[in-house]
Amino acid sequence: MIEAQLSRSVARWCEGATGVTGAAKLSGGASQETWRFDIVHPDGPIGAILRRSPKGYGAAPTRAAGLGAEAQLMQLAYEAGVPSPRVMHVLTAVDDLGTGFIMQRVEGETIARKILRDDEFAAVRPHLARQIGGVLAGLHRLPLDKLPELRRMTAAKEIAEFERDYRSLNWPKPVFELALRWLRDNDPGPSAEETLVHGDFRNGNLIIGADGVRAVLDWELAHLGDPMEDLGWVCVNSWRFGEIDKPVGGFGSREELFAGYAAAGRKVDPARVKFWEVMGTLRWGIMCGGMMQRFREGPDHSMERAMIGRRASETEIDLLRLLAPRGS
Amino acid sequence: MQDEPTPVELTKSVADFLRSDITPLISGHQAFKLRVAINILDLVTRQLTQEQGSDAEEVERLRALLGIDGSVTDLNRTLADRIARGELNLATPGLAEHLWATTMDKLAVDQPNYASYKRELSRDG
């Protein structure tokens, strides 16, 4: 079992550790798993998380930065004061656990609907949009010369990739065609400034506590590009979970997000943010189509995946609200 | 002609059984999966009830917009191609109205509780 391998591993790099308990798989597809466990230590248990690709699943999907890069980015973020778990250990062959890393477990909530509804977060909710601006500013300031090797993306490259994905679905959608045209016609060109872009920064990928953002998760889509991409993606309606008048994750306004970003010393380009919000809405819609395709072709023939295919129309109405709003 | 009960009546009877008789018996991840299953049956019922009418109206609009005849699938494919080629755009009379009407009909089947849909519906009403 995995606990035996984890126990041998922690004994090597965590001083005083005598073993592990409570290993439980939190999520996992065929190629990537997340486990929680506690390190047994004389000073008290240490909460930990394992992110790994099991043996035989070394190759990352084309768009993912890879677990090695993810570990480096999280550690860099942690050192720079961006809310992030501390990386405790990067797996090596000796660990016999595949590839990946072990990080400190951060307590808090990631389920967006709970963060938006539960009383526990009522006091902090009004501050989150601004706080997220500050977190993104810190993330976009991570030093380029310390980053791992990452894909370099521009709007034009992303549009081309989405178009290829969409056409491969053979799923004619006039609203998506309209959005693709709009994106091409309104592409602001390469950003004057290229920074680290998280790539999936949104409500659902943040650990939130009563005190606010405690950690930014899921760095696997990190790349180099236009920092405004992250500001646009966090505003996509799909991540507002019903709170449609609060664009920033259902928490607050764009103005608050922008103010937090500016207060941390970085400049916002609202036109670019809007462009990336349209791009992000289309991106999620095409991803819904991808889920439908995976459902049809197996291996994941689940009802949940099938139903996500029927959520593409949510992004169509949101694209129309952005591109062809009806009189108010 | 097939016998009755109709597909809508049959599907509804299964959804009602799952909702009233099975839901109280299970919990945890299985309860979540059961909710998804019931949602699927409800969606199928809505589609069986609404699709014929909304498709007929969609074909009507598409024929006017494109000046050709065909099935709803073929006409949609043509519309998608023409938008991709830039021959039709939001300045084309009737295009925005058509896309709005079609999208509203889809949401009415797919996700009638989606907040954007409910907002736009209140605008219509």
CB contact under 8 A, A177 and B83: yes
**Given CA atoms B94, B96, B100, B106 in this order, what sign does their dihedral have?**
positive
Beta strand residue intervals within A188-325, DSSP E: 195-197, 206-209, 212-216, 223-225
Token digits for A318? 């949101």
- Whether the per-residue pLDDT at B2 is higher than 70: the answer is yes
Token digits for A122? 């009522």
Residue of A317, A318, A322 to mutate, interface with B, max B Cβ within 10 Å = A317
- Whether the per-residue pLDDT at A77 is higher than 50: the answer is yes
Q: What tens digit of pLDDT does each residue of B72-110 get? A: 999 999 999 999 999 999 999 999 999 999 999 999 999
**Band of residue A62 on the pLDDT scale cut at 50, 70, 90:** low
- Whether the per-residue pLDDT at A59 is higher than 50: the answer is no
* Interatomic CA distance for residues A73 and A140, integer angstroms: 12
Q: What tens digit of pLDDT does each residue of A95-123 get? A: 999 999 999 999 999 999 999 999 999 99
pLDDT of residue A60: 44
ipTM exceeding the 0.85 mark: yes
CB contact under 8 A, B99 and A310: no
* Interatomic CA distance for residues A261 and A134, integer angstroms: 5
Name the pairing type of β-strands A206-209 and A87-90.
unpaired
CB contact under 8 A, B99 and A313: no
**Band of residue A32 on the pLDDT scale cut at 50, 70, 90:** confident
Please, what is the average pLDDT of chain A?
A: 93
What b/e string do you get for B18-52 counting C-beta neighbours within 10 Å, with b at 16 or more?
A: eeeeeeeeeeeeeeeebeebbebbbbbbebbeeee
* Interatomic CA distance for residues B80 and A75, integer angstroms: 46
Q: Work out how many CB contacts closer than 8 A connect A with B.
A: 86
Domains of chain A as residue ranges with CATH: 2-104 (3.30.200.20), 107-150+199-222+246-268 (no CATH), 155-189+269-328 (no CATH)
Q: What tens digit of pLDDT does each residue of B37-61 get? A: 999 999 999 999 999 999 999 999 9
Predicted TM-score (pTM) of the model is 0.93
* Interatomic CA distance for residues B111 and A168, integer angstroms: 25
In Å, how far are A127, A216, A230, A255 from A265, measured between CA atoms? 18, 20, 16, 15
At residue A42, φ and ψ (nearest 5 deg) are: -55, -30
Q: How far is B1 from chain A (nearest CA, A)?
A: 30
Partner B contacted by A22 (CB < 8 A): no
CB contact under 8 A, B103 and A178: no
Q: How far is A182 from chain B (nearest CA, A)?
A: 9
Q: How far is A34 from chain B (nearest CA, A)?
A: 18
CB contact under 8 A, B107 and A326: no
